[in-house]
Amino acid sequence: MTSATKVNPDLSDERKKVEFDVEEFTNWYYKGAENVAEKRFLENFFLSDPELEDKVPTSYLSHKEKYENAVRKAVLVVNKIKELQADGRGGVDIYMALLGGTLGTAIFREANPITVHFVMFLPAIMNHGTSDQQAEWISRAWNCNIIGTYAQTELGHGTYIRGLETTATYDPKSKEFILNSPNLTSYKWWPGGLGHTTNYAIVIAQLHSLGKCHGIQPFIVQLRDEETHMPLKGIKIGEIGNKVGMNTVNNGFLAFDNVRIPLKNMLMKNAKVLEDGQFIKPKSSVLTYGTMMFVRVVILKDMASYLSKAVTIALRYSMVRRQSPIEPNKPEPKIIEHVTQQYKIFPAIAKVIVFKITAEFLWDMYNQVTHDLDKGDLERLPELHAISCCLKAVCTNEAAQAVEICRLSTGGHGYLNSAGFQDIYGMVTAAQTYEGENTVMFLQTARYLIKCWEKAMNGEKLTPTVSYLENFIKGRNSRQSFQNSPSGILKAFQLAAAKKIAESNKHLEERKKYLSPEEATNQTGLELINASELHCQAFLLQATIEVLEDSTKQTSLQLRSVLKDLLELYSVDLALRYTGSLLEFANMTSSDIEFLQRSLEALLKKLRYNILGIVDGFDHPDQILGSVLGTYDGNVYENLINAAMKSPLNQEDVNKSFHLYLKPFMKSNL
Ligand SMILES: CCCCCCCCCCCCCCCC(=O)SCCNC(=O)CCNC(=O)[C@H](O)C(C)(C)COP(=O)(O)OP(=O)(O)OC[C@H]1O[C@@H](n2cnc3c(N)ncnc32)[C@H](O)[C@@H]1OP(=O)(O)O
Ligand SMILES: Cc1cc2nc3c(=O)[nH]c(=O)nc-3n(C[C@H](O)[C@H](O)[C@H](O)COP(=O)(O)OP(=O)(O)OC[C@H]3O[C@@H](n4cnc5c(N)ncnc54)[C@H](O)[C@@H]3O)c2cc1C
């Protein structure tokens, strides 16, 4: 962690003021010293390999060079993982660490080009394949003998997947499916790695058999020859072009012209087609959507990781950058002394902890529900779908906003690629759209909330994430005055969510009197989103309060007290961001707002000298941060000039454009 160079005294002075044991926080954050040791081992194992180091910063590479460099590294990384596994080290977790998160993005900067193979292609075979299909494909895919993608989205449809247009028509004579892209809008568009990396895909297509359409189903399709990598007959394939971020991913397009695949290539764990073409329905049609749910769950953890990098860069920089005297005739202070600067960064640090805790909570819930599904029990599937949709939306939206604020908090230098924000921003903003566009995700949760509301009104028992609606109906919370504490703010959010759900339902029902249910839902969309967001914020706070309470029982008093301050900061900031809803629905008064404002300011002050310990405790080595502004030693000005010198333009004193264009132009103007 410590750098060999001399640490900027401004930063070393700050470190002396931290009142808790940073290593204790690190062990708490990563759930044990063993996990920390493993994390550090992995970081060192991968980041000390000179083959994985970029001689020229990747931002100076062309689109093609970036891609080729990323594929080279992806192969190296998987080979290194196999090396570790041969030594009996690690399992699936190693892959997770390298597909996204901090280690993966440190190596690839923009993204790992084969992430979709591991997080979607393989899980789709595991979730939707029969045991025979798993036996045929899993080990080849796991060993990367074949590399696949998940081809669902088309030029014309991404959200409304029932509207996909690619067809898979069963031919009982040859016992094959014939895949076709009937028009331009049916071209697959976006799948990660599809352009030039993958040779297989899970293709989601409309199944036609015996003259009937049976809706979308997953098929495993070979796209390229395993030796030559040439696209197979009838397959048109390419890359969709460069993007805001994630440029190493090679997202692609794909079209089929009478491509035949055998019957056994439809993934048939749920729905089935028999040899004679008869279609056997799945237990539930939404089981086809399982792979998307898995990724929505892992995205949350990813958001905590990316944001933890952004806040580390912003805070360390703010503790060495000096600008603008606060008192006339006094020296220029560190910019962190400007209270507005503290407000830009401290609440975002609290968010990292809240997102991480909730991500782990959701991961446990996902494992429980999928375990139940394997036994044929689908009861908690709608609840998991609903909570994962709104969490994906809130956490990616908030991470994107917070990363941008962190960038702004570093002024002009933050706009440089070498500051590291651009790559982080590219990753978090992509997640607002992929795996379900966020507005659509909020509406999915709202659909569930309205159903729960109706159930609760009928006196039916609700599942844990919505049980507060029962309490509301029984009138337990409604008369309470607003309490300025995390649990008081939680109650206010639950009350506001319940009232907003009730109000949306009322307006929905009114509209249903003269509109179709679907159009009534459309007209009520703004309120439904609002209800969904309030519900999600309540859940994030509740999960954090419960986990913090439990997990800090064994920690030192000093650490517990800082974590308590961070939880208070998170909840006070949350309440202030939602004063409109809380004033409207949760017995909040204007004097409560004034009090919250004072609490916010007091908490910023209280955390001022401990907050560096938290970002240091995230334990990101300089290579993970990849930022000239965030290095542990705080020598930002040396880093800035060193990074500038790596610009290809700085490798010569005079660029040829001077002789070609500028000189003739400047002389002719004489
Ligand atoms: C550190 C860690 C590193 C980690 C490692 C890095 C990881 C991070 C890298 C990732 C990299 C990925 C790259 C992006 C990969 C793509 O983006 S793949 C493409 C993803 N596409 C989408 O998500 C499309 C979004 N659209 C949809 O999900 C659905 O079509 C919609 C919006 C839910 C609508 O579908 P629909 O059939 O019209 O559904 P609808 O009529 O609204 O509802 C029908 C019923 O199904 C239910 N339902 C809908 N969906 C589901 C579901 N999934 N489950 C259960 N029930 C469902 C509804 O609740 C509803 O239930 P009822 O109310 O009727 O009881
Ligand atoms: C970086 C990246 C990687 C991706 N990787 C993959 C991949 O590997 N595989 C794959 O199959 N796909 C992938 N995708 C595609 C992605 O899943 C879709 O882009 C996403 O689901 C949104 O669909 P869309 O593009 O059709 O947006 P649209 O649905 O067209 O959204 C456009 C607007 O319409 C609104 N809208 C649409 N429907 C509704 C509704 N019902 N109610 C209210 N508003 C609505 C949306 O809110 C949005 O504002 C990727 C996308 C990106 C950006």
CA–CA dist 129, 118 (Å, integer)? 15
Residue 2 pLDDT greater than 50, yes or no = no
Domain membership flag for residue 352: no
Domain membership flag for residue 534: yes
Q: Within 13 Å and on the Cβ side, how many CA atoms surround 481?
A: 5
User: Which atom of ligand 2 lies nearest, measured to the CA of 246?
Assistant: 1
- pLDDT tens per residue across span 239-293: 999 999 999 999 999 999 999 999 999 999 999 999 999 999 988 878 778 778 8
- Nearest one of 389, 398, 397, 492 to 447, comparing CA atoms: 389
Model confidence at 1, pLDDT cuts 50, 70, 90, reads very low
CATH of the domain at 188: 2.40.110.10
Domain membership flag for residue 546: yes
User: Which atom of ligand 1 lies nearest, measured to the CA of 433?
Assistant: 17
Mean pLDDT, the chain, integer: 95
Domain membership flag for residue 366: no
Q: What whole-number percentage of the chain has pLDDT above 70? A: 98
Cβ–Cβ under 8 Å, residues 337 and 598: no
Cβ–Cβ under 8 Å, residues 464 and 481: no
Domain membership flag for residue 530: yes
Provide mean pLDDT across the span 203-208: 98
Ligand 1 close to Cβ of residue 381 (< 6 A):
yes
Interhelix angle 421-433/101-108, rounded to 10 degrees, is 120
The domain boundary, picked from 225, 247, 282, lies at: 282
**What amino acid occupies position 13?**
D
User: Which atom of ligand 1 lies nearest, measured to the CA of 290?
Assistant: 53
Do strands 200-209 and 212-222 pair parallel, antiparallel, or not at all (unpaired)? antiparallel
- pLDDT tens per residue across span 106-130: 999 999 999 999 999 999 999 899 9
Q: What is the structure's pLDDT at 21?
A: 98
Q: For the chain, how many structural domains are there in total?
A: 2
CA–CA dist 521, 540 (Å, integer)? 26
Ligand 2 close to Cβ of residue 432 (< 6 A):
no
Residue 192 annotated as binding site: yes
What is the residue range of 529's domain?
Answer: 443-610
Residue 90 annotated as binding site: no
Domain membership flag for residue 474: yes
Q: Looking at the DSSP assignment, which residues form a beta bridge with residue 266?
A: 219
The domain boundary, picked from 586, 610, 634, lies at: 610
- pLDDT tens per residue across span 389-407: 999 999 999 999 999 999 9
Do strands 167-171 and 200-209 pair parallel, antiparallel, or not at all (unpaired)? parallel
Report the separation in Å between the CA atom of 289 and the middle of ligand 1, taken as the mean of its atom positions.
6
Model confidence at 96, pLDDT cuts 50, 70, 90, reads confident
Ligand 2 close to Cβ of residue 152 (< 6 A):
yes
User: Which atom of ligand 2 lies nearest, measured to the CA of 152?
Assistant: 11
Q: What is the structure's pLDDT at 376?
A: 83
Write a three-state SS string for 237-295.
Answer: EEECCCCCCCCCCCCEEEEECCEEEEHHHECCCCCEECCCCCEECCCCHHHHHHHHHHH
Nearest CA to ligand 2 atom 38: 159
With the most atoms of ligand 1 within 8 angstroms of its CB, the residue from 166, 435, 620 to mutate is: 435
Domain membership flag for residue 433: no
Ligand 1 close to Cβ of residue 447 (< 6 A):
yes
Model confidence at 102, pLDDT cuts 50, 70, 90, reads very high
Provide mean pLDDT across the span 307-332: 96
Q: 184-188, long-range: CB within 8 Å, 24+ apart, which pairs?
A: 184/155, 184/156, 185/154, 185/155, 185/156, 185/157, 186/154, 186/155, 186/156, 186/255, 187/154, 187/155, 187/253, 187/254, 187/255, 188/151, 188/152, 188/153, 188/154, 188/252, 188/253, 188/254, 188/255
What the block records as the tokens of 332 is 């220029």
Ligand 2 close to Cβ of residue 159 (< 6 A):
yes
Ligand 1 close to Cβ of residue 115 (< 6 A):
yes
Model confidence at 476, pLDDT cuts 50, 70, 90, reads low
What the block records as the tokens of 546 is 């419960």
Q: What is the structure's pLDDT at 3?
A: 46
Domain membership flag for residue 573: yes
The domain boundary, picked from 576, 594, 610, lies at: 610
Q: Is 51 exposed, middle or buried (0-12, 13-18, 19+ CB in 10 A)?
A: exposed
Cβ–Cβ under 8 Å, residues 348 and 311: yes
CATH of the domain at 447: 1.20.140.10
Q: What is the structure's pLDDT at 465?
A: 94
Task: Supply the residues annotated as catalytic.
Answer: 435
